[in-house]
Structure formats: C-alpha cells, structure tokens
Amino acid sequence: MSAFLAFALAVTAVNAVRPPAARATPAPRRGGILRLMLREDLPQGFAIHETATNSTVWPSLPCFNNLVTFQPLKPVERPDTIVGDLAERWAWTSDYRALTFTLRRHVRWHDGQPLTAKDVKYTFDMVREAPEASARLRINPRKDWYAAVEAIDVPDPYTVTFRLRRPQPSLLMMLASGYSPVYPAHIAPAEFRTRCVGTGPFRLKEWRKGEYVEYVRNPEYFVPGRPYLDGLRYVVIAERGTRFAALQAGQLDAAMPAEGTRTIVEQLKAAAPRMVVSEINVGVNDNLLLNTKRPPFNDVQVRRALSLAVDRRAYVRAVHQGGAVVGAALSPPPTGAWGLSAADLEGLPGYGRPADDKARARKLLADAGYGPGRPLRVEVATRAISLYVDFASFVINELRQVGIDGTLRQVETAQWHPLVTRREFEIAANLTGLGVDDPDANLYENYACGSPRNYGDYCDDQVMQLVEQQSREIDPKKRLAIVWQIQRKLEADAARPMMGWRLDYFAQWPYVRNLVPHHSAYNWSRMQDVWLDR
C-alpha cells in the first residue's frame, strides 16, 4: 500500500476515535466587575507573609505576583505546571544547590517604582530571617520553608540566585505557592496590614473594613492585554447561608475555596441548576493530635489502638456527608502527587473492616492494662466551632465503642494555638491546611523532632532521617518511594492519625470564564485571566 494511502488511513482512523471537537470557547471579552465573597474581614489586611489563612490570601493575591506560579487554567499543581510570573526563566544547577531566576524587565509596582532583583532578595531575606535582612516580619509562619537557603545573591538588577546549604528540589514549588508573593523593598511590611502595593493585575481601590474590598484593573500590568476584568469586589458576609443565598440570587459571581460543603452545594444546585460546581481537593485535612509526651499516649500500642478505633470511611460519611477522601499525611491521588492511594491505605489502622479494627483496638488496650474494669479516660480538645465539634464528637463516639471514655473540651479560637503550643491537651481535633502540595512544606513543620508545630511531639529518628533524605533527593521516583514509606510509618505509629481530606465544591456562575479551581486553596486567585461572558 502506498505511503500516502497509509497516511490517509491513519489520519482518518485517528479522527474517527478523537472525540468531536468541543464547541469552541468564545474569545475573552473585556470589562465587568467580578463579585466574590469573603467569610470574614481580612485578618491582617494584605500581609500575606504574616498570616496563614485564606481569608488573607484569597483576596490579596490579585495585588501581587510571585517569582513563579502555577498555570492558572490547570487544576492540578505540579512541578511541571509551574510557569514564570515575575521570572522569565529559571534554572537549577545540576546539583540542585542553586536556583537562578531571570526577572522580567519593565515591571512596575503600583506606585510606579520599578521592580528589580533587590525586591526579591529583600522579600526572601526577610521571610527567612537572614541576619542581613533589612526588615522584619511581626509574625512569620513560613520561616522554615527557606531554612535551607544560605544566601540570596543579586549579581545584576534582573538576576536572583538562591544558594542552598544542601539540595532542595521543593524550593521551586514553595516559591510558586500563593504564600510567596514578592514584596517591594521600598515599603515597610507593616504597611501591608492596611493597604497593598504590588505588581499584580489589580490595584487596590478601597478596603471598607468589615464590608468589602475593591480592586481596579492595573493598566500597566506587565502581561499585555491582561487583566480582562475592570475590577474585583470581595464582599464580607459572615453567615455561610447568607453567602450562598447571595450567590444563588446572582448578587455574587463565585464562591470561596473551602466553603462549599456537599450538602450546601446540593441545595444551591437544586435552586440554580445552571451553577457550575467543581469538586476539588483543597489540601485541608482533619487530623488527631496525640500528645506523645503524656502517658499513655507515649505507648505506640495505645496510639495505634486509638487510630484503629476510628473508622475513617465512616468519618467521611458522617462528618462530611461523603464530601471528603481518605488519605495519609500528604494529599492523596489522583489530585495529590505524593499521597497514599486508598489501596495503599489498606492494612493501616482505621482503614480496614471496622469490626476487625475495633476488635484489634480492644485487644491492644487490654494488653496495655485497660478494659471494662479500668477504662481509659481521655479528653478531646477542639475549637469551639461547629465543624470541629462535629469532628470531635464523632471521634468520641467511635472511641466509646472500644471502651474509651472520652469527654469533649471546647477551646476558644484565640486560645487554641497557645494551648496546643504549650501541649496542654491529651487528644486534640485539629485541621491542617497545606500551602502547597509538597512534602517539604508539610513534613518538617508537622513531624520533625523539635518542630514547634509538631504539636504531638512525635519524634522518630528513622522518620527524621527519611524526611531529610527525601528533601535532598533529586530523582522524583526515588523521592516518591521515600515519601510513601514515611507516610506508612507515620500512620502505623499513629503519629498524627489522619481522618480525611476535605473536598470542596466550588460553585460559580457559568458566565465566569477562566476561573479554574485548583486542587488547593491558596494558589489560584490572582484573577489575571478571568473574564465575564455576558
């Protein structure tokens, strides 16, 4: 058969199996104001580097840029979806001990000053609390992200090099997170608690405290033709029911991440069938803190018994009405890159058949000397918010079934971190949100020996070694294997039993285009490419 014919047949065959071309999406239109919701007023204004909450990041991201960011239109966040933001290009040295960025030129801050590499050095020296840093953050939650950075060099105004003490491939992921914007060197960081000066697609117009935040288009934005929108309006509505009622009535255009539980969104979709809902894994997990310094939780068997007692799948059903997935210390696949899949979890405490697991739990407790005559009494501390209380109540209920006598203790939000930092708890129902799906951003903070946020004080030399090893490992496959091994050990040791990873049901009206929810809460709200199709 002639080559031509073969080629023609091949093309035909390919066209036959390719799905019919999707209706072409229309070309973006300019104009309009996107109306969004906030669940509370910005706690510290636009000072992203001084907070760890989406109430700051979600409405502040449009003001800023990072060195690099995740592709806005792709829902998963991976090293291969990282694109340049303020950086045109970047390169690792072959030993992954230095990362050099080449910055774009002609980028201006909102007050007209030019962006140079000095701003980058200033920002990250400040965050990593370098001795030569020229400014200090009042509150600095992510200092440890940059612990491996030895120095930041600025050989010329558009080149920045991060020199590391040891290889750390994760550095790039962390710089892409919404938590790593670049601050201007000529403005004190405290100013960001009241106003925002960035390089981003939108300029702050007004922040009416307790009511709304308004942005206008930045006409000098460095991406030509962007943003499409004329402005943004974030409205503060404290009651969740009211927020969604406003969305339903068309007074708002889109929701906020980690707000849409399954039940609420079902109600929303029933009333407004045209609403577009995306199921996303926002990188927030529920976990149990066990104080390993307090007997009997220093006994790994007792901890294991506790973990066995709580049926994770029942947890997903009862507390989240199915709106969660089971997983270990890192976000589970397919949305997470490093987590253990459901198949991997079989055999770990809490994921087996509930009756068997609970029987094993009772036996372990009996071995430790607890039984019907001498029940184990525990106190489960939790924040005085209904979501956490539901979580803790479920756990207490499960523990009751293996003979553990649990009481609930509610702690006001302001008291929560001091309490867990002082380790004044036995068991605590906790929530952890991950800034970026990366082992370094997660494991050090929560499981490293001596980390102040390792609230359970779990310390295992082997795990520590593995964590260090994976942080330096350049081969992704090898690294993944180590991370899996770590997670299995953590669950087997019941270091911080994971309950589940919440699913968010992000709702938006169909005329909101190019607002693609990512499988994270913090990294996708720049609104640079969003446009309104009406």
Q: How far is the CB of 261 from other proteins (least distance, A)?
A: 8
Q: How far is the CB of 397 from other proteins (least distance, A)?
A: 8
Nearer Cβ to other proteins (421/462): 421
Strands 159-164 and 202-208: unpaired
Residue 294 near residue 306, CB atoms below 8 Å:
no
Nearer Cβ to other proteins (202/416): 416
Nearer Cβ to other proteins (112/450): 450
Instruction: Provide the strand spans (E) within 112-256.
Output: 149-156, 159-164, 202-208, 212-217, 231-236
Q: How far is the CB of 458 from other proteins (least distance, A)?
A: 17
Cα dihedral 121, 127, 131, 132 in deg (nearest 10): 20
Positions touching other proteins (CB under 8 A) are 41, 43-45, 50-53, 55-56, 138-141, 190, 193-194, 208-212, 235, 237-246, 249, 251, 263-264, 266-267, 270-271, 314, 317-319, 321-322, 384, 386, 389-390, 393-394, 397, 408, 410, 412-418, 421, 452-453
Nearer Cβ to other proteins (121/243): 243
Q: How far is the CB of 375 from other proteins (least distance, A)?
A: 20
The closest alpha carbon to 337, from 92, 524, 70, 526, belongs to: 70
Distance CA 296, CA 500 (A): 25
Q: How far is the CB of 110 from other proteins (least distance, A)?
A: 20
Identify the bridge partners of residue 46 per DSSP, sorted by sequence position.
44
Q: What would the two tokens of residue 22 be?
A: 């999707």
Distance CA 447, CA 455 (A): 9
Q: Identify the DSSP state of 190.
A: G
Q: How far is the CB of 147 from other proteins (least distance, A)?
A: 15
Nearer Cβ to other proteins (297/394): 394
Q: Identify the DSSP state of 405.
A: E
Nearer Cβ to other proteins (394/524): 394
Q: How far is the CB of 413 from other proteins (least distance, A)?
A: 6
Residue 86 near residue 103, CB atoms below 8 Å:
yes
Indicate if the alpha-carbon torsion angle 217, 507, 272, 214 is positive or negative. Answer: negative
Nearer Cβ to other proteins (371/452): 452
Distance CA 51, CA 59 (A): 13
Nearer Cβ to other proteins (368/389): 389
Q: How far is the CB of 301 from other proteins (least distance, A)?
A: 29
Distance CA 232, CA 35 (A): 6
Nearer Cβ to other proteins (213/494): 213
Nearer Cβ to other proteins (192/228): 192
Backbone dihedral angles phi then psi of residue 217, each to the nearest 5 degrees: -60, 140
**Which class for 8: exposed (0-12), middle (13-18), buried (19 or more C-beta within 10 A)?**
exposed
Q: How far is the CB of 105 from other proteins (least distance, A)?
A: 35
Q: How far is the CB of 109 from other proteins (least distance, A)?
A: 21
Give whole-number Cα distances, 135 to 121, 132, 150, 187, 190, in Å.
11, 9, 18, 10, 10
Nearer Cβ to other proteins (116/393): 393
Q: What would the two tokens of residue 430 be?
A: 């906790």
Name the helix (H) or strand (E) containing 420: helix 413-421
Question: Taking the CA of residue 266 as centre, how many other CA atoms within 13 Å lie in the half-sphere pointing to its CB?
Answer: 6
| Termini Cα distance of the chain | 53
Indicate if the alpha-carbon torsion angle 136, 139, 144, 146 is positive or negative. Answer: negative
Q: How far is the CB of 485 from other proteins (least distance, A)?
A: 27
